[in-house]
Chains A and B, each alone.
Chain A
Amino acid sequence: MTAPATAAPTELPSYLEAAHGPKSWLLTRDHKRIGILYLVAISVFFVLGGLMAVLIRAELATPQGDMFSSDVYNRLFTMHGILMIFFFLIPSIPAVLGNFLLPVMIGAKDLAFPKLNLTSWYLYMIGGLMTFGSLLTGGIDTGWTFYTPMSTTFAQGQVLVTAVGIFVAGFSSILTGLNFIVTIHRMRAPGMTWFRLPLFVWAHYATSIIQILGTPVVAIAILLVGAERLFHIGVFDPKYGGDPLLFQHLFWFYSHPAVYIMILPAMGVMSELVTAFSRKRVFGYHFVAFSSLFIAVIGFLVWGHHMYVSGQSVVAGAIFSFLTMLVAIPSAVKVFNWTATLYKGSISLQTPMLYALGFIGVFLIGGLTGVMLGTLGIDIHVHDTYFIVAHFHYVMVGSAIMGYLGGLHFWWPKITGRMYDEFWSKVGALLIFVGFNTTFFPQFILGYLGMPRRYHMYPAEFQTWNVLSSAGATILGVGYLIPVIYLLWSLKFGAKAPANPWGAKGLEWQTASPPPVENFATPPVVTEEAYAYETSAPAKEVTVGV
């Protein structure tokens, strides 16, 4: 409200110092603080989901079921999936980094609807606590996919509570997307034209479209599952004339696009990292920007590739197969463009860049195996095997989480005002890369050999690959633990971060680290795009030639 136009940037208190005490956090409307609230919450869910993964891999180290009964194992992988997808990965980049950065990147003082933003966080927390509560009271055994009539008629446990929890969290996701779109349309600073927007912002725009148009469909599907359970009526139950396939259609109509809710923001992060650490204008800006929108649109037309063997007609299968091939094109466009950006760039291998390079390799494998699965003939062989598990972990754990961690490291100095430890952050990135591939590559082989997913016992011939996978998971776990330690450490002991530690070009680097409450000391006027690297001499001091 005040106009500190005359104050020097350093004289404004940062958003962290502007207010103190729990109330200043829990009732805040500052998008940056809300981003931190999300960061804390999703980290807790990540740890919980991670512990479940450890238990799953421990059980799978031997062919016998020696730790859990089948029933407990079912509950374990169900909760692992639900927590990781709905409460960690979907909010990860948008709600933490997007919340924090989007207004700063476009030169706005906040998101368009700050109160709604805080409401979204509370909805997320209510949904999360309900789901976690259902876990404490026994959990559910339906898998994250809630297939009917399993979920409506046969499943034991707290299906209703979990379903309502996911429903509520879904609205948090919808409202965040709504907030982002309005902000991008209406809050851009003078001079911030659409084609000067950072690609991170384009990616979030596309993600928001999916969140707004896809999430309500799964919301109604879950609501109907709840109604069927509660009132014993037949929406999907064949006993009363219902059609279980209708549920699958509604579910995947959301849940295929949802995979792009997870990967598109990571792709947005990638575009920022690759340019900043090769000191080059991004190759084919328009192509990268529009490929995000193309993915969002085509992503709504391919859901049937999850239902090739469900009884859907062969004609429908063939059409979905063709459309699935189409969606690989914009994904490939991005990979080619990042690679071309690297070409002849002056590359520096800082930690965020290690994650970015890892992303390219891992996403290549994840995406190409997706195309294999999209092929009708192959999918009928490997559907519901570990091949699928490997595919989606390559894109979700490999690509999306690496994108998230790369982004977190890139903007950590901006968010916290502190630098983290160079050496340990590189060790962490390398361990994560090695651990990840050791865990999940063997699962491609297992799936190809025919090991089905979602069982805790398997024929002895599969043990070698499973042991390798469990060993890799140990490395991966250590890899994830290291950043937790040095990042927390940096909060107290890290060196103070300058405004622009990487010599990057985006608007967010032109304000203080951490930024003041209204983001800029004086409202910015934008005169060039976020990747104008060639127009000025590269910052030699941070460049390590390769």
Chain B
Amino acid sequence: MASEARPAPLAHHFDDYDQQRESATLGMWLFLAQEVMFFGGLFLAYTVYRWKYPAFFALGSNQLDVPLGLANTIVLIGSSLTMVLAVRAAQLGKARQIAGWIGATMALGTGFLVVKGFEYHHKWVHHLIPGAGFHIEGTTDPAAQTFFVLYFCMTGLHALHMIVGLGLLAFLVPKALRGDFSAENHNWVEGVGLYWHFVDVIWIFLFPLLYLLGRHHA
């Protein structure tokens, strides 16, 4: 039972905690810059194909479940809030609070993935998985698949990032309970927090692009 912080480890090659913390934060931001470019390739593909096949994108977008997507958006924004509270608790060195807020974040994140799973299942049942068995009401042009190729690539990669995020959060819980985090040393919580917000922001773009844009043109 350690609500009191243990002495924070300072790695041998750093002069002080400030240097260590600033390095960790800058490193995380650079990693996120890398992530932006990684997803950027997919957003470019989305732009190109949307411009090429507006009708198919409207058709595809109408197959998505807006209420479920909206619910998931709210769940994910909620998880960003609990994540912020976890970081705040870490800055104050409150071990049990950190673990609690991280647990809440994980619950919300898992909820998101479960809903996503239902959505995927629905697509499966309705033959909307790209490939030989693909079939959509309204056209037989195989190019109609492009919307769903992008839908699965983008939301799939996003879900993969969420799973990694959940793993990282799970890794932080025992550390938090051991009292590893304190005002000087909470780089891990802060770094994972940044990552979590980033994944959230990606979804904030995915939701309107995939679910909302162009529905009314069909």
Chain A residues with CB under 8 Å of chain B are 1, 108-114, 116, 174, 178-179, 181-182, 185-187, 212-217, 219-221, 224, 227, 231-235, 239-243, 246, 249-250, 518
Q: Which residues of A are found within 8 Å of B33, using beta-carbon distances? A: 212-213
The answer to whether A239 and B142 touch across the interface, beta carbons within 8 angstroms, is yes
**When chains A and B are docked, how far (Å) is the Cα of A181 from the Cα of B56?**
44
Interface residue from B12, B30, B34, B145 paired with A241 (Cβ < 8 Å) = B145
New A-B pairs, 12, CB < 8 Å, besides A216-B41, A234-B142: A109-B12, A112-B13, A112-B27, A113-B23, A219-B38, A227-B153, A233-B149, A235-B149, A240-B143, A240-B149, A241-B141, A243-B49
Q: Tell me the smallest distance from the CB of B33 to a CB of chain A, in Å.
A: 6
Q: Which residues of B are found within 8 Å of A227, using beta-carbon distances? A: 153
Interface residue from A108, A186, A213, A231 paired with B130 (Cβ < 8 Å) = A231
Q: Which residues of B are found within 8 Å of A241, using beta-carbon distances? A: 49, 52-53, 56, 141-146
Interface residue from B11, B35, B145 paired with A234 (Cβ < 8 Å) = B145
Q: Which residues of B are found within 8 Å of A174, using beta-carbon distances? A: 34
Q: Which residues of B are found within 8 Å of A243, using beta-carbon distances? A: 48-49, 52
With CB as the reference atom, state the residue of chain B lying closest to A243.
Answer: B48
**When chains A and B are docked, how far (Å) is the Cα of A224 from the Cα of B53?**
19
Contact with A along B18-47 (1 / 0, CB 8 A): 010011001100110111011111101100
The answer, yes or no, to whether B138 is at the interface (CB within 8 Å) is no
Contact flag A216-B38 (CB < 8 Å), given A112-B23, A187-B23, A227-B153: yes
Q: Which residues of A are found within 8 Å of B34, using beta-carbon distances? A: 174, 178, 212-213, 215-216
The answer, yes or no, to whether B125 is at the interface (CB within 8 Å) is no
The answer to whether A234 and B146 touch across the interface, beta carbons within 8 angstroms, is yes
**When chains A and B are docked, how far (Å) is the Cα of A71 from the Cα of B41?**
32
Q: Which residues of A are found within 8 Å of B1, using beta-carbon distances? A: none
B contact patch SS: helix
With CB as the reference atom, state the residue of chain A lying closest to B145.
Answer: A240
With CB as the reference atom, state the residue of chain B lying closest to A189.
Answer: B15
With CB as the reference atom, state the residue of chain A lying closest to B144.
Answer: A241
Contact flag A518-B12 (CB < 8 Å), given A216-B37, A246-B45: yes
Chain B residues numbered 113-154 whose CB sits less than 8 Å from any CB in chain A: 130-132, 141-146, 149, 153
Q: Tell me the smallest distance from the CB of A520 to a CB of chain B, in Å.
A: 12
The answer to whether A113 and B146 touch across the interface, beta carbons within 8 angstroms, is no
Q: Can you list 27 pairs linking A and B with CB atoms under 8 Å apart?
A: A109-B13, A112-B27, A178-B34, A179-B27, A186-B22, A186-B26, A212-B30, A212-B37, A213-B33, A214-B37, A215-B34, A216-B34, A216-B41, A219-B38, A220-B40, A224-B41, A227-B153, A233-B145, A235-B45, A235-B153, A239-B142, A241-B52, A241-B146, A242-B146, A246-B48, A250-B41, A518-B12
**When chains A and B are docked, how far (Å) is the Cα of A217 from the Cα of B38?**
5
Q: Which residues of A are found within 8 Å of B149, using beta-carbon distances? A: 233-235, 240
**When chains A and B are docked, how far (Å) is the Cα of A233 from the Cα of B130?**
6
With CB as the reference atom, state the residue of chain A lying closest to B31.
Answer: A178
Q: Which residues of B are found within 8 Å of A240, using beta-carbon distances? A: 130, 142-143, 145-146, 149
**When chains A and B are docked, how far (Å) is the Cα of A109 from the Cα of B38?**
32
Q: Tell me the smallest distance from the CB of B155 to a CB of chain A, in Å.
A: 14
Q: Tell me the smallest distance from the CB of B84 to a CB of chain A, in Å.
A: 24
Q: Which residues of A are found within 8 Å of B11, using beta-carbon distances? A: 114
Q: Which residues of A are found within 8 Å of B56, using beta-carbon distances? A: 241
Q: Tell me the smallest distance from the CB of B38 to a CB of chain A, in Å.
A: 4
Q: Which residues of B are found within 8 Å of A179, using beta-carbon distances? A: 27
Q: Which residues of B are found within 8 Å of A116, using beta-carbon distances? A: 27
Q: Which residues of A are found within 8 Å of B26, using beta-carbon distances? A: 181-182, 185-186
Interface residue from A178, A224, A235, A250 paired with B30 (Cβ < 8 Å) = A178
Q: Tell me the smallest distance from the CB of B27 to a CB of chain A, in Å.
A: 5
**When chains A and B are docked, how far (Å) is the Cα of A246 from the Cα of B150?**
14
Chain B residues numbered 40-96 whose CB sits less than 8 Å from any CB in chain A: 40-42, 44-45, 48-49, 52-53, 56
**When chains A and B are docked, how far (Å) is the Cα of A543 from the Cα of B19?**
42
Q: Which residues of B are found within 8 Å of A518, using beta-carbon distances? A: 12-13
The answer to whether B38 and A182 touch across the interface, beta carbons within 8 angstroms, is no
**When chains A and B are docked, how far (Å) is the Cα of A227 from the Cα of B145?**
14
With CB as the reference atom, state the residue of chain A lying closest to B141.
Answer: A241
**When chains A and B are docked, how far (Å) is the Cα of A317 from the Cα of B112?**
45
Contact flag A232-B131 (CB < 8 Å), given A182-B26, A182-B27: yes
Q: Which residues of A are found within 8 Å of B19, using beta-carbon distances? A: 186-187
Contact flag A224-B153 (CB < 8 Å), given A182-B30, A186-B22: yes
The answer to whether A232 and B132 touch across the interface, beta carbons within 8 angstroms, is yes
With CB as the reference atom, state the residue of chain A lying closest to B37.
Answer: A216
The answer to whether A186 and B145 touch across the interface, beta carbons within 8 angstroms, is no
With CB as the reference atom, state the residue of chain A lying closest to B11.
Answer: A114
Q: Which residues of A are found within 8 Å of B144, using beta-carbon distances? A: 241
Q: Which residues of B are found within 8 Å of A217, using beta-carbon distances? A: 37-38, 40-41
**When chains A and B are docked, how far (Å) is the Cα of A179 from the Cα of B31?**
10
The answer to whether A213 and B13 touch across the interface, beta carbons within 8 angstroms, is no
Q: Tell me the smallest distance from the CB of B188 to a CB of chain A, in Å.
A: 13
Interface residue from A182, A215, A216 paired with B23 (Cβ < 8 Å) = A182
The answer to whether B27 and A113 touch across the interface, beta carbons within 8 angstroms, is yes
Q: Tell me the smallest distance from the CB of B44 to a CB of chain A, in Å.
A: 7
Q: Tell me the smallest distance from the CB of B162 to a CB of chain A, in Å.
A: 17
Q: Which residues of A are found within 8 Å of B142, using beta-carbon distances? A: 234, 239-241
Q: Tell me the smallest distance from the CB of B12 to a CB of chain A, in Å.
A: 5
With CB as the reference atom, state the residue of chain B lying closest to A239.
Answer: B142
With CB as the reference atom, state the residue of chain B lying closest to A237.
Answer: B142
Contact flag A1-B146 (CB < 8 Å), given A187-B23, A232-B131, A232-B132: no
With CB as the reference atom, state the residue of chain A lying closest to B21.
Answer: A186
**When chains A and B are docked, how far (Å) is the Cα of A385 from the Cα of B31?**
39
Give 4 closest A-B pairs by Cβ, nearest first. A241-B143, A220-B41, A216-B38, A109-B13
Q: Tell me the smallest distance from the CB of B21 to a CB of chain A, in Å.
A: 10
Chain B residues numbered 138-196 whose CB sits less than 8 Å from any CB in chain A: 141-146, 149, 153
**When chains A and B are docked, how far (Å) is the Cα of A231 from the Cα of B56?**
21
With CB as the reference atom, state the residue of chain A lying closest to B42.
Answer: A220
Q: Which residues of B are found within 8 Å of A216, using beta-carbon distances? A: 34-35, 37-38, 40-41
Q: Which residues of A are found within 8 Å of B53, using beta-carbon distances? A: 241
Q: Which residues of A are found within 8 Å of B30, using beta-carbon distances? A: 178, 181-182, 212
**When chains A and B are docked, how far (Å) is the Cα of A407 from the Cα of B34?**
29
Counting chain A CB atoms within 10 Å of each CB, which of B27, B35, B53, B141 scores highest?
Answer: B27
Q: Which residues of B are found within 8 Å of A249, using beta-carbon distances? A: 44
Interface residue from A114, A220, A224, A231 paired with B131 (Cβ < 8 Å) = A231
**When chains A and B are docked, how far (Å) is the Cα of A1 from the Cα of B38?**
38
The answer to whether A114 and B145 touch across the interface, beta carbons within 8 angstroms, is no
The answer to whether A213 and B146 touch across the interface, beta carbons within 8 angstroms, is no
